[in-house]
Amino acid sequence: MANIVEGAVLAFNGGNVTDITDDGFKVALTGSLTNAGPFDALISFPNGADVIFMGAKIATLDIPPICSAGGSGVPDLSLEAELTITDKPAFIGFASYLLANPQFTWTIQTNTLEVAALQTIFDNVTLSKDVT
């Protein structure tokens, strides 16, 4: 399972931020999940995912489960997530960077990814993906 997760390509091409507070915000993301394996799968993030920017964990992202079709993945991924800031000074550094740079890279990572496929649940799968 780890090889399939590692080979998957998670990409975001748009986002809309709402409900901003001092502690985080809601974000609607669009993008794709491709090369996610030959079988239908339900991908869950039971403990969310860490958001890493320039080596610092700046937030956690509560991501809803993703239904991936065997062979095609999710070419038109659309999801709503909630971001919680975990390191305010580092997040302020990210926000300052974003003001001067229209593109950035986050690493989304978790050690508790859960993948249900072929009537089997694979839990505690490691995921680490750079997304721009």
53-91, pLDDT tens digit by residue?
999 999 999 999 999 999 999 999 999 999 999 999 999
26 has a pLDDT exceeding 80: yes
- Looking at the predicted structure, is the pLDDT value of residue 2 above 80? no
For residue 98, is pLDDT > 80?
Answer: yes
CA distance 28 to 82: 9
Residue-averaged pLDDT of the chain? 92
Domain definitions of the chain by residue range:
2-119+124-128
User: Strand pairing of 24-34 and 9-21?
Assistant: antiparallel
Tokens of 9: 């390509």
Query: Residue 22 burial by CB count (10 A; 0-12/13-18/19+): exposed, middle or buried?
Result: exposed
Q: Can you give the pTM of this predicted structure?
A: 0.87
Correct CATH for 2-119+124-128 of 2.60.40, 1.10.520, 1.10.287, 3.40.50: 2.60.40
pLDDT band at 12 (very low <50, low <70, confident <90, very high): confident
103, 130 Cβ separation under 8 angstroms: no
